[in-house]
Amino acid sequence: MGEINLLDRYPRSVRPIDERGSCITEDHRRVARRFGKEYFDGERLTGYGGYSYHPRFWRDTVKRFVEFYGLTEESKILDVGCAKGYMLYEFKQLLPGLSITGIDISEYSIAKSPEAIRPYLQIANAKELPFADDEFDLVISINTIHNLELDECKQALKEVKRVSKNHTFVTVDAWRNDMERERLLKWNLTALTYMHAADWELVLEETGYSGDYYWFIADTAA
């Protein structure tokens, strides 16, 4: 198990944390947690403000994963919380023979995924993955597990470990100091579990999670 930022090639953009933080209400969070059109393609206060595919967001990141984990055309990967499946789409562009599977709780996002990979995506919840033990060479979950309550987060981490025979990588909302905590509380829309990185590490240890991990840190330039 190791803390490593495998998203370090993802393009950085300026986040208007203070501006959005001053406007967000619990109604905005309630709408965002439906993970429907308002979250993916609605206004910025309820989500992404438009979530569309562009290779510059995924190509170098996917290459990073392929290189780090030594993935080949014979590998089998699962993306837990795949949204519109853009990361899996890029995996297929790089390694056409790769076996891909994605799950998400959002019917909307899967319906809006690229047609080429839609058959590989399905509705499911991270806390109960509908797959056999040791089924995948790599299981990825980026900014998803924290959308569950703490007990369910623990269950999801166990599930991620269960269905992987080799590698896992997860990222969750966290902070390492008071400034990062303040920014995260302003920025967060959907996470039900967020805590200090050290506390997350205790959760990883408690659940027996033995893979790689990193944090989503709400930064003004991230």
Q: Is 15 helix (H, G, I), strand (E, B) or coil?
A: coil
9-64 pLDDT, tens digit per residue, is 998 877 789 888 899 999 999 999 999 999 999 999 999 999 999 999 999 999 99
Q: Which residue, 132, 201, 126, 140, is CA-closest to 162?
A: 132
Q: What is the pTM of this model?
A: 0.95
CA angle, 106 then 190 then 201, to 5°? 110
pLDDT (0 to 100) of residue 1: 64
Q: How far apart are CA 9 and CA 12, in angstroms?
A: 9
Strand partners, 195: 174
Mean pLDDT, residues 169-176: 97
CA angle, 146 then 148 then 150, to 5°? 85
Query: Which domains does the chain possess?
Result: 2-8+16-216 (3.40.50.150)
Q: How far apart are CA 212 and CA 196, in angstroms?
A: 17
126-158 pLDDT, tens digit per residue, is 999 999 999 999 999 999 999 999 999 999 999
